[in-house]
Amino acid sequence: MQSKATNCPVLYDANGLLIVDKPEGVLSHPNVKSGLPAGRCAFEGPYHFERRCFKTPEGPVWLIHRLDQDTSGILIATRTERTAEQCRAEFESGRIRKYYATLVSGTLKPRSGEWRDFILTEKKAGRARSRILPRHSKNASLRYSIQNYFGLRPTFTLLRIELLTGKTHQIRIQSASRNHPIAGDEIYGNFPLNRELRKSIGLRRLFLHAGELELKNPDTGKTLHIKAPMPESLKSVLSRLAELQA
């Protein structure tokens, strides 16, 4: 499916929704207040920050949420402002379910559980950084379950994450704070290990992919189950780990 409105593969384009598969390295929206991209963006054209809207060759496209530049996967936009308002209300109420695949270092116990923290995000020199503050009421939560385990030295665990809130860098900082940083994370990660993974198994990016989404179409009321396949750059890393473990 092709669309001049986006630089990404289109997963769904109907009833006012435009859902795409954002590659790693692509911005959700420009980082500069002029609205003009300082890098390749998920959607074409100038961006209006207050309206959270792109002016694309196919008409306006409203951005519903963001993914980090380093994260790949499902990104939701809409072609009408009315649908945008409805989708944003669904996000704020927690009725849109979002699932991620991530590879972390170490072995997690128990095999499934919930992480709840207070995350504070600060911006310095135009860059957002998050940290966890103890002894505060919790404002960020996620559920995890182990999908695979690689008994190497060091060990690695493939997780399926259901993101229950949407704080900046949430999965990254919650994993790192528990001594299970995401493989390839150049902000909160294990930097010597990242260098070794780059040499040994060819991991050249953050291993975090927004692969599944469940939401109700605002116009039809029908529940949509959207999937974005794991990129080959990540699948090859899992294959290499499996070979080393064999």
How far, rounded to the nearest angstrom, does the alpha carbon of residue 111 sit from its chain's CA centroid? 22
Tell me: do 71 and 108 sit in the same domain.
no
Q: Are residues 34 and 110 in the same domain?
A: no
In a domain, 223, yes or no: no
Instruction: Give the model confidence (pLDDT) of 70-104 as tens digits.
Output: 999 999 999 999 999 999 999 888 899 999 999 99
pLDDT digits (tens, 9 = 90+) for 185-228: 999 999 999 999 999 999 999 999 999 999 988 878 889 999 99
Shared-domain flag, residues 2 and 66: yes
Q: What's the whole-number mean pLDDT along residues 114-143? A: 90
Domain boundary among 43, 70, 93: 93
Residue 51 maps to which CATH number? 3.30.2350.10
Residues 79 and 103 in one domain: no
Say if residue 4 is in the same domain as residue 88: yes
Instruction: Tell whether 170 is covered by a domain.
Output: yes
Residues 79 and 173 in one domain: no
pLDDT at 143: 98
Residue 3 lies in domain? 1-93
The last residue of one of the domains, among 56, 71, 93, is: 93
Asked if residue 173 is part of any domain, the answer here is yes
Examine residue 189 and state whether it is found in any structural domain, yes or no: yes
Q: What is the pLDDT of residue 147?
A: 97
Residues 157, 87 within the same domain: no
pTM for the full predicted model: 0.94
Least confident interval from 24-28, 93-97, 231-235 = 93-97
Q: Is residue 147 domain-shared with residue 172, that is, in the same domain? A: yes
The pLDDT value recorded for residue 38 is: 57
In a domain, 89, yes or no: yes
Q: What is the pLDDT of residue 33?
A: 58
Check whether 134 has a pLDDT greater than 80: yes
Q: In this predicted structure, what is the pLDDT of residue 135?
A: 77
In a domain? residue 42: yes
Evaluate whether residue 215 is within a structural domain: no
